[in-house]
Amino acid sequence: MYRKQVRRRRAVLVALIVVSLILISVSFSEAQSGPLHTIQRGISDVLSPLSEGAERALKPARDLVNWFDETFNARGENEALRDEVAELRGDLADAQSALGENQELREQLDLRQTSALGGFEPVTGRVIGRSPTLWYSTVTIDKGSSSGVEVNDAVANGDGLVGRISDVTRGTAQVTLITDHRSSVSARVLPDGPSGVVEPEVGDPDDLLLDFIDNDETDLEGKILVTAGWSNGQVSSAYPPGLEIGRVSEAEPGEQESFQRVHVDPFADLRELDFVQVLTGGPERPGVPG
């Protein structure tokens, strides 16, 4: 019984295939006005309204599916664009940071070439820590005794004097800045002006004071200060001579009758230090412990 059903289905399938082939052959060979083409056009006319109605009925559903698809695609593109913008912003920040560091290191190279003439061996260090108060103005660098850094070594950057080493470990060192209340630097006014002592104006890291300048000294504003680097054979300055400190911004009568109050703008931006150079070695400085 089952086999008869299978044979019958196969016979029907073969018959349908044969009929289809015959109809296709007749359709190709028949003129456009033939009966088959007439029947085809009639069926098309009957089904066309149904097809159009189905098309209109399904359009909202299809538009909704397309909206979801376009929304998800747009969201994905938006996420990709955001990631790309973030990546580009990071690359720009890295490039600008590298440019700034490159400029600083280039200035350090100029300082290195100048200082080497005096017999010092500059060691470049990166600032890795800062004091939290204005009263104690110190920074910590990533170079220490293993790099030849010693207590009382002078510290500068491409702009000018920064301070001196006040404490050392094997891998780090503390720099006491010239704006620290414990700091004092012997200095002289270029080209042939008076000498005095530079001390901080406590609470203002952008202002230094040049003390012990007689009132009869005039025409100081705009003049450059450098370290005096004096020595009497028994006592010496902790700083080598000729390091630029800053420029005289104002001179006014002081509290003491014989001395005036001279304000100095430091050349080095002591609040934005990234790299410094420690001047190691150099000539012996009598009275300066190392």
Domain of residue 175, CATH code: 2.40.10.340
pLDDT band at 272 (very low <50, low <70, confident <90, very high): confident
Range of the domain at 232: 122-281
The model's pLDDT over 58-90, given as tens digits with 9 standing for 90+, comes to: 566 666 666 666 666 766 677 777 767 666 665
Q: What is the arithmetic mean of pLDDT over 187-195?
A: 90
> How many domains does the chain contain in total?
2
Portion of the chain with pLDDT greater than 70, in percent: 59
Last residue of a domain, one of 82, 117, 152: 117
**Is residue 97 domain-shared with residue 185, that is, in the same domain?**
no
Residue 112 CB neighbours (<10 A): 18
pLDDT band at 116 (very low <50, low <70, confident <90, very high): very low
Q: What is the arithmetic mean of pLDDT over 117-137?
A: 81
Is 82 part of a structural domain of the chain?
yes
**Is residue 161 domain-shared with residue 134, that is, in the same domain?**
yes
Is 232 part of a structural domain of the chain?
yes
**Is residue 130 domain-shared with residue 266, that is, in the same domain?**
yes
Lowest mean pLDDT, pick from 52-61, 78-87, 139-148, 166-175: 52-61
What is the pLDDT, as a whole number, of residue 252?
84
Q: What is the arithmetic mean of pLDDT over 165-187?
A: 93
- Higher-pLDDT residue of 56 and 258 is 258
Is 134 part of a structural domain of the chain?
yes
What is the pLDDT, as a whole number, of residue 85?
67
Residue 112 reports pLDDT greater than 60: no
d(CA 16, CA 143): 94
Query: With the C-alpha atoms ordered 190, 273, 167, 183, is the resulting torsion angle positive or negative?
Result: positive
Structure tokens at 135: 């009263």
C-alpha count within 13 angstroms, C-beta hemisphere, residue 272: 10
**Is residue 96 domain-shared with residue 127, that is, in the same domain?**
no
Q: How far is CA 227 from CA 44, 161, 182, 243, 280, in A?
A: 104, 8, 17, 5, 17
